[in-house]
């Protein structure tokens, strides 16, 4: 089956620093990748959609200058949380969709970010 | 704006019984509806996808129905097992992709 990895699986950082999270599709080419945020006991909230080689499309209310997304290749997308604050602490999950798929998304295991 | 509701936040059932989870939505016409399983601290895992022109889809002990008139999907797990305990999310897939709030299922041995 299609496998998506995320790195790191957890990170703790100081307020004001930037954190980069990587999302990789290991055995397929992902034409589209998605970034979600999930707070405790809540559902996944789509932050942005990125297509390889083009700028990401951000959902309403998500600051594109704060959450930088780079979809540099068909197997790698990165999310950088810039100048992180405690309220950015959350579970960040990426997913990838292949051009040949039936529209299902394959999710990474998630990254737990804690900002002190 | 679109709204997605899943029947209850938590559902407890006895092992061997059939679990039925509900997903209702408004203000949207998805081309597909998908169901995912999520375990604590993990990303969601895809289970089933049903298209708008399909009434029912089955996969092993799982069955999904999709009623575009009622704007509702039902997700059934037959012969439930304790290992089925998890949070189940429905997701609407059309021009955009939206997740429901999830239902936490506990199967009691």
DSSP sequence for A63-104: -TTTEEEEEEETTEEEEEE-S--GGG-EEEEEEEEETTSSS-
Cβ of A7 under 8 Å from any chain B Cβ? no
**Average pLDDT taken over every residue of chain A:** 91
Nearest to B49 among A36, A103, A106 (CB): A103
Q: What is the pLDDT of residue A100?
A: 67
Q: What is the pLDDT of residue A52?
A: 82
Q: Residue B87: beta bridge partners?
A: B38, B104
- Per CB-CB distance under 8 Å, the chain B contacts of A57 are none
Q: What is the mean pLDDT of residues A24-51?
A: 89
Q: Inspect the interface and report whether the beta carbons of B43 and A112 lie closer than 8 Å.
A: no
* Nearest Cα residue to B38 out of B92, B105, B93: B105
Q: Return the residue in B5, B43, B45, B97 with the most chain A beta carbons within 10 A, the one to mutate for interface testing.
A: B43
pLDDT, tens only, B31-78: 889 999 999 889 999 899 999 899 999 999 999 999 999 999 999 999
Q: What is the mean pLDDT of residues B14-43?
A: 91
């Amino acid at each position: 089956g299609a496998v998506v990895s995320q790195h790191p699986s957890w990170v703790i950082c100081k307020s004001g620093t930037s954190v980069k999270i990587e999302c990789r599709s290991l055995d397929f080419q992902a034409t589209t990748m998605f970034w979600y945020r999930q707070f405790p006991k809540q559902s996944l909230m789509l932050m942005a959609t990125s297509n390889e080689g083009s700028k990401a499309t951000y959902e309403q209310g998500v600051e594109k200058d704060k959450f930088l997304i780079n979809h540099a290749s068909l197997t790698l997308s990165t999310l950088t949380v810039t100048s992180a604050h405690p309220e950015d602490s959350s579970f960040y999950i990426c997913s990838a969709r292949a051009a040949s798929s039936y529209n299902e998304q394959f999710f990474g295991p998630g990254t737990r970010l804690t900002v002190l | 704006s679109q709204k997605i509701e899943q029947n209850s936040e938590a559902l407890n059932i006895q092992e061997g019984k059939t679990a039925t989870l509900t997903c209702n939505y408004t203000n949207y016409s998805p081309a597909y509806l998908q169901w995912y399983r999520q375990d604590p601290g993990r990303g969601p895992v895809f289970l089933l996808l049903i298209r708008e022109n399909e009434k029912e889809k089955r996969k092993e002990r799982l069955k999904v129905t999709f009623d575009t008139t009622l704007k509702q999907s039902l997700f059934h797990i037959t012969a439930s097992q304790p290992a089925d305990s998890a949070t189940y999310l429905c997701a609407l897939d059309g021009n955009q992709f939206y997740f429901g709030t999830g239902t936490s299922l506990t199967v009691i041995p």
